[in-house]
Structure 1
Amino acid sequence: MPQTDALFDLPEHRATLPPAPDGWPKQPVAKILLEAPVLHLDRHFDYLIPKELDAAAQPGVRVKVRFGHQQLFGWLIRRTDTIETAARLTTIKTVVSALPVLEAKVFELAQQIAQHYGSITADVLRVVVPRRVAGVEREIAEQIADHSIPAPPPIPEAKEAPLTDSGAPDFRWDLLDGAEQLFTPEHHGHYALTLPSAHGSWDAMGVLADAAHRLAASQQNTLIVVPDHKHLSRLQRHLEDRIGSRAFVMLSGEQGNTARYRSFLKILTGQHRVVIGTRSAIWAPLEHIDAIVVWEPTSEHLIEPRTPYFHVHTVARFRASQHGARLVLASTSRALEIQHLVANGQLQQIGADRPTRKALAPRVVATADSFHAERDPLAQIARIPHLAHQTAREALDGKHGRPGPVLVQVARAGFIPGLFCTNCGESARCRHCTGPLGFTDRFAVERHEATCRWCGIKERHFACTNCGGRQLRAGARGVRRTADELGRAFPMTPVMSSSADHMLVTVGEQPAIVIATPGAEPVATDGYAAALLLDGDAQLQREGLNVPEQVLGHWMRAATLVRPSTQGGTVVVTAEYDDAVAALVQMNPIAWATRQLAQRQQLGLPPAMRVAELIGPSHEVQKTIRNTPLPYQSEESPWIGPVPVDEATHRALLFFPDHVAEQVVGALKTTRAQLSARGETTSVRLRIDPTDVL
């Protein structure tokens, strides 16, 4: 096997170039990063470049090489005259890509992210470069050879939108304190932006499109990342209306391999100033970036689900610093991670002043406050209290303003997705796969026919595994059950539903009831006349440190889609009155995040503290802990665990302050690489700052 001195402490000795019949080209030594998911191979290996591959073997191309008895793919990082190994070198077998698709700055960023998350660069690069499509690559290569790569189209100056007579302030950038710096060339501030409204002229995707238009008109490059296809399609339409479909490029996993790779190469060859996309678009190979915008930066959709489990907003901060670009992390709420960065001075806060926020806010009513609780004693137990019914009826009839659609936010999809034993309260489970049982529709309830949500097998003779009981009671009601109930309560009103399996992007201004799960709320053309936020207690009672933050974020996204109170807009929330409900009533998520962050700092909990998670077989996790030297002393073990996750897997957590994060993560990476090289651990997984373990 070549270059085994990488694994052993061999004497310092350098190989020389072997003789070649035709000689060697200039800088014949290639530094290759292998595409191998092995920790101790996360380094550059030396290979020789034969003369026939001299022109093709350029930094950034994908190659195929022999490593031991295997043929592996890798990336040519750079060429040099220096050999840094005593091993006998072999030559590169094939240059796979016709173009250098790994841009130098992107590779440097990938190394930084791998180090930040204790991973290997090859795992990051798997996300960075889309799957190759040879035909598209040849097409672009021919354009480069013919010097026919089109330049970015000119973008006209943005025009001010005409004012409306809605009674609420129309969107203008000067209504956001500090926003004027976002368009200043050479400025490189990092900002947290909270929009007080998200419909009409304040439609979030319209605001982002306007920012991209203004930046492109002044020949500045912009990268915008949104969490999902629903937001991306809306942003796409707004940009088409402003600058035309040829003036920007989209990069998303929804495109398919061919379209995605073509978009990637167009960005690489500098054909567009505006790039938009979902999670992987943060790696778009723009040569220079002036502004990066991330919408809903802490969304679960913006966390890479595979190793190294990076967060897009973290990559965005590294990339903005690398390019000297402005960074905007924008939302309608305020996540604690973002507030922590604001408190540390890493982000500056920009947003609307209090009078503007008040003018744009709907009237928010909590059914649990003392006034409404006294008037409706059953409000605490009714899923849809009288106040919610009354608010929906008045909004549909236009009693306090223009008639319009009513948004109803529910916690779950399905009809009755969760069932419990009436006797003991145990969750009803499938006899075949232990999956959760639920009722799929009203007829299933009448037939007493539950269906497993995992395997789909129907259960007609339920028997509780805990007490033997045969009666079922409903848990949370889903979208379809709510639609059934409201359809009977409002028989002449259209009822629409939106959830992950059938998502609506927009709805019209006609009166209708729109039932949606969190994150699937469509935008109403003229804003919603009212919103009913149901199942609040069920959502807040879920286990998890970040549950209140997530629920408040869902509520704020729904509330900002409602018209201002001056136009009759009303939001009704059905939940016990606590801090999160109070923040919604006041429409002030920043104050709530500030208080919550102070409590987390006192308790030493994330995001005030960083977290490392080791997960794998118990003995391998324990061995990794024993062999990892930490950069600080502690009388007791700072590790929590290992504790069992399931029969084969255990988890251990480590909390550590930010000022030692680089040393802690580096020590964990080094230990795992050493144990991997010795074959002592193979399946321990490391996650840094996971959001789902507490």
Structure 2
Amino acid sequence: MSSEDKQPSEPVGDGPEQLALIRESVRKAKVPKAKPRTWRGAALAKDLPVARVMVNKGALHLDQFFDYAVPEELDADARPGVRVRVRFGAGAHRVRGGRREGGGLIDGFLIERRAESDYQGALAALAYVVSPEPVLSPEILGLARAVADRYAGSLADVLQLAVPPRNGRAEAAPSPEPLPPPPAPAPATWQRYVRGPAFIESLAAGGSPRAVWTALPGPHWPDELARAVAATLASGRGALVVVPDGRRAARVDSALTALLGEGRHALLTAESGPEKRYRQWLAVRRGSVRVAVGTRAAMFAPVQNLGLVVVWDDGDSSHSDDRAPFPHVREVLELRATHDRCGFLLGSTSCTVEAAQLVESGWAAPLVADRARIRAVAPVVRTVGDHDLARDEAARAARLPSIAWQAVRDGLADGPVLVQVPRRGYVPRLACERCRTPARCRHCAGPLEAPDERDLRCGWCGRAESEWHCGACGATRLRAQIVGARRTAEELGRAFPAVPVRTSGRDHILDSVPARPALVVSTPGAEPVADGGYAAAALLDGWAMLGRPDLRAGEEALRRWIAAAALVRPRSEGGVVVVVAEPTLRPVQALVRWDPVGHALRELAERAELGFPPVSRMAEVVGAAPAVTAFLADVELPADAEILGPVPLPVPERPGARRPDAAAGARALLRVPPGSGAALAAALKSAQAARLARGGQDQVRIRIDPPDIG
């Protein structure tokens, strides 16, 4: 979207649209008044005998509140925000539009107590109050409604993400008394950034600055993040920090404990277990703790008097929820910053296109170091084309070009060396050596494999292929397979027989490694932290990450490379990084210059010319082909909407493999220019609700801002 659509005082996404979402959440709670009703002659609560309930049914045509009578015996516990059980359907209430659902007890949240109901029939009563603990605050309810509307989803689905499951023992345990605010911290290493000290001083003074922070390489970012949180606490306000995974949450946890001591923050991660995590969450909701640090689900943490929201490494796919309505942490925290008028900090060693857009639009200010500082703390980055072969047997055995082999050998003389290997699955197994076109079977178009590294066979039909040639350029040579971390570790072990080799990947991720010489082979995102930093790093098979058929391939490759290279010692201490990829490609040059912001700005400019997100807003409609076609015919899209497709989804990589959505067969993309995102979401939500109310059987999935548009 253009910079005209965002102002510093407006939320991110579609500017005024986000404020409209908040106002809409208030409007939807208002209904006309009517005559009060009784419940089958039984004694009801004397004051406010009607409970407005959000039932836990995620269907869009049920995305509304329902009225229930409050029996006198539940009067004291039936407070707004508590969990309740109600009988849903079978005459218990009506669904606006006339349709009724089957009966049965169902969970829900009590939204408010009222003196009257607009329903003219007899109200069913609350079955019981699950717990008198009010777990849903008005602030989180308003946020959840705004998120549901932005992503064309239901409020019930968002509340399932926002409020964790109940644990009785955790509720019974008392929460500690809140501690007084700490003193404002010193800027410390924030002085390395041009506006760093001013940012910390603004938070400590009660300000609400918004910043996109491009962190310098090295181990300091957890402490710098902790100091931003401490400055917010010093002003008497709370803070929320969301990171991609438990390992980085543990680093922030340690930094906060070292700076502030115990008892000032709660750690909300799955590793804590359900009881401990819920106890910590309750401490935040009750106001005993003013700081919450956690992974994706923590984006809804009910921090009281919120003064700062932080998201670290927003490009990590873990920040995008895989449950409906698929919210992204960055967007949710932008909504919170707008709704609560609090500070906002987006930090990363790299820079996404969305982060660059926040700065370009003026909604957030940049927090960066000057070029001299960057050159001083970044390692030396060398490039080598992956067609280069090493000039000796040991290098060829390890698949390392000579420059990379030399860097690994020199680094091992002084400490651990990191070797990053792309995971299997980034691209098909074999590709043309000249043009990188995937190698496919001539009979069934299945992927070609080399089981014994000599004979080619199809991975689908099993036919042998003895005379393969590239259909795109006519070349007859194939490039080597993507070799996983385990295989690479074996090869490096043979090349460096006296050096211990450790692996870190999906099956077993290392948190840290000692400063002793060792080879650490890791997949992207699983790199352990080395004490004192790595002496060197080799980033292998760059073509695999850059060759993915994805709009974000270059951005994601650069983010992965910088994250690994940031763990290497600075050039003043001899740190060297060798990336095996075509040196002339833009992401490779950005790594050499250590300029992720410049790369993101150029990507943003290109997407603006092509009308790609985040400049435009897009939605994905996936389902069986007839269902998608029928849905598109029924939806009343904004006049400026563009429909791309529908097109068949790619077939599974192996026969019999299931697609992510078993009913999916076709996909359509809907695109609108800046300013029409809210109208697009509303139109899709309305059409989906009408389809479900009519009893549509074929599943149609809607996703706003899909992470992968191919």
TM-score (norm 2): 0.82
One-letter amino acid of the structure 2 residue matched with residue 667 of structure 1:
A
How far did 1:381 drift?
Answer: 13
Return the alpha-carbon distance in structure 1 between the equivalents of residues 241 and 546 of structure 2. Answer: 32
Q: Once structures 1 and 2 are overlaid, which stretch shifts more, 149-158 or 461-470?
A: 461-470
Which runs of 5 or more structure 2 residues have no equivalent in the other structure?
1-31, 90-102, 468-477, 652-662
Output one character per residue of 1:200-238: Cα deviation in whole Å (capped at 9) or x when no partner.
xx2x22322233234334433221111001111222222
Return the alpha-carbon distance in structure 1 between the equivalents of residues 484 and 601 of structure 2. Answer: 33
One-letter amino acid of the structure 2 residue matched with residue 366 of structure 1:
T
Pick from 109, 117, 123: which aligns with 2:143?
109
Return the alpha-carbon distance in structure 1 between the equivalents of residues 269 and 450 of structure 2. Answer: 34
Are the counterparts in 2 of residues 15 and 83 from structure 1 also a CA contact under 8 Å?
A: yes
Determine the structure 2 residue equivalent to 1:540.
546
Superposition CA RMSD, Å: 3.4
Determine the structure 2 residue equivalent to 1:396.
412
Determine the structure 2 residue equivalent to 1:579.
586
Aligned CA distance change for structure 1 residues 345 and 381 (closer, same or farther; 3 Å): farther
Which runs of 5 or more structure 1 residues have no equivalent in the other structure?
1-10, 144-148, 162-170, 398-402, 440-444, 451-460
Equivalent residues in 2 for 1:339-488, closer than 5 Å: 339-368=356-385, 383-397=399-413, 403-412=414-423, 418=429, 465=461, 467-469=463-465, 475-488=481-494
Output one character per residue of 1:564-599: Cα deviation in whole Å (capped at 9) or x when no partner.
212211111110121111100100011111111111
How far did 1:410 drift?
Answer: 0.8
Question: Is 1:44 aligned with 2:55?
Answer: no
Are the counterparts in 2 of residues 421 and 469 from structure 1 also a CA contact under 8 Å?
A: no
Q: Once structures 1 and 2 are overlaid, which stretch shifts more, 72-81 or 15-24?
A: 15-24
Determine the structure 1 residue equivalent to 2:158.
124
How far did 1:73 drift?
Answer: 1.2
How far did 1:184 drift?
Answer: 3.8
Equivalent residues in 2 for 1:144-183, closer than 5 Å: 149-152=176-179, 155=182, 158=185, 171-173=189-191, 175-182=193-200, 183=203
Equivalent residues in 2 for 1:228-247, closer than 5 Å: 228-247=245-264
Return the alpha-carbon distance in structure 1 between the equivalents of residues 680 and 669 of structure 2. Answer: 13
Return the alpha-carbon distance in structure 2 between the equivalents of residues 106 and 607 of structure 1. Answer: 26
Determine the structure 1 residue equivalent to 2:100.
none
Return the alpha-carbon distance in structure 2 between the equivalents of residues 629 and 260 of structure 1. Answer: 43
How far did 1:343 drift?
Answer: 1.7
Are the counterparts in 2 of residues 225 and 277 from structure 1 also a CA contact under 8 Å?
A: yes
Question: Is 1:197 aligned with 2:217?
Answer: yes
Aligned CA distance change for structure 1 residues 159 and 438 (closer, same or farther; 3 Å): farther
Return the alpha-carbon distance in structure 2 between the equivalents of residues 631 and 14 of structure 1. Answer: 39
Return the alpha-carbon distance in structure 2 between the equivalents of residues 672 and 56 of structure 1. Answer: 36
Determine the structure 2 residue equivalent to 1:671.
687
One-letter amino acid of the structure 2 residue matched with residue 186 of structure 1:
G
Give the secondary-structure state (helix, strand or coil) at the position aligned to 1:352. Answer: coil
Question: Is 1:562 aligned with 2:568?
Answer: yes
Pick from 306, 325, 332: which aligns with 1:289?
306
How far did 1:18 drift?
Answer: 5.2
Determine the structure 1 residue equivalent to 2:706.
690
Question: Is 1:641 aligned with 2:646?
Answer: yes
Return the alpha-carbon distance in structure 2 between the equivalents of residues 293 and 672 of structure 1. Answer: 33
Q: Once structures 1 and 2 are overlaid, which stretch shifts more, 566-575 or 233-242?
A: 233-242
Determine the structure 1 residue equivalent to 2:108.
74
Output one character per residue of 1:16-68: Cα deviation in whole Å (capped at 9) or x when no partner.
33574545320111111110121111001111111111100000011111122
Are the counterparts in 2 of residues 279 and 301 from structure 1 also a CA contact under 8 Å?
A: yes
Are the counterparts in 1 of residues 82 and 136 from structure 2 also a CA contact under 8 Å?
A: yes
One-letter amino acid of the structure 1 residue matched with residue 557 of structure 2:
V
Are the counterparts in 2 of residues 507 and 524 from structure 1 also a CA contact under 8 Å?
A: yes
Determine the structure 1 residue equivalent to 2:3.
none
Return the alpha-carbon distance in structure 2 between the equivalents of residues 449 and 256 of structure 1. Answer: 49
Return the alpha-carbon distance in structure 2 between the equivalents of residues 243 and 348 of structure 1. Answer: 27
Identity %, equivalent residues: 37
Question: Is 1:250 aligned with 2:277?
Answer: no
Question: Is 1:518 aligned with 2:518?
Answer: no
Output one character per residue of 1:160-185: Cα deviation in whole Å (capped at 9) or x when no partner.
76xxxxxxxxx333534255224243
Return the alpha-carbon distance in structure 2 between the equivalents of residues 517 and 338 of structure 1. Answer: 25
**Equivalent residue pairs, number:** 634
Question: Is 1:496 aligned with 2:502?
Answer: yes
Output one character per residue of 1:322-346: Cα deviation in whole Å (capped at 9) or x when no partner.
2211110100011112112222222
Are the counterparts in 1 of residues 397 and 491 from structure 2 also a CA contact under 8 Å?
A: no
TM-score (norm 1): 0.84
Question: Is 1:594 aligned with 2:601?
Answer: yes
Are the counterparts in 1 of residues 187 and 227 from structure 2 also a CA contact under 8 Å?
A: no
Question: Is 1:650 aligned with 2:666?
Answer: yes
One-letter amino acid of the structure 1 residue matched with residue 77 of structure 2:
A
Aligned CA distance change for structure 1 residues 105 and 684 (closer, same or farther; 3 Å): same
Output one character per residue of 1:66-85: Cα deviation in whole Å (capped at 9) or x when no partner.
12222211111011112112
Return the alpha-carbon distance in structure 2 between the equivalents of residues 326 and 571 of structure 1. Answer: 36
How far did 1:683 drift?
Answer: 1.7
Q: Once structures 1 and 2 are overlaid, which stretch shifts more, 242-251 or 581-590?
A: 242-251
Return the alpha-carbon distance in structure 2 between the equivalents of residues 297 and 531 of structure 1. Answer: 24
Question: Is 1:680 aligned with 2:680?
Answer: no
Output one character per residue of 1:496-554: Cα deviation in whole Å (capped at 9) or x when no partner.
11112211111222222111111111112211111111111122112111111100000
Give the secondary-structure state (helix, strand or coil) at the position aligned to 1:17. Answer: coil
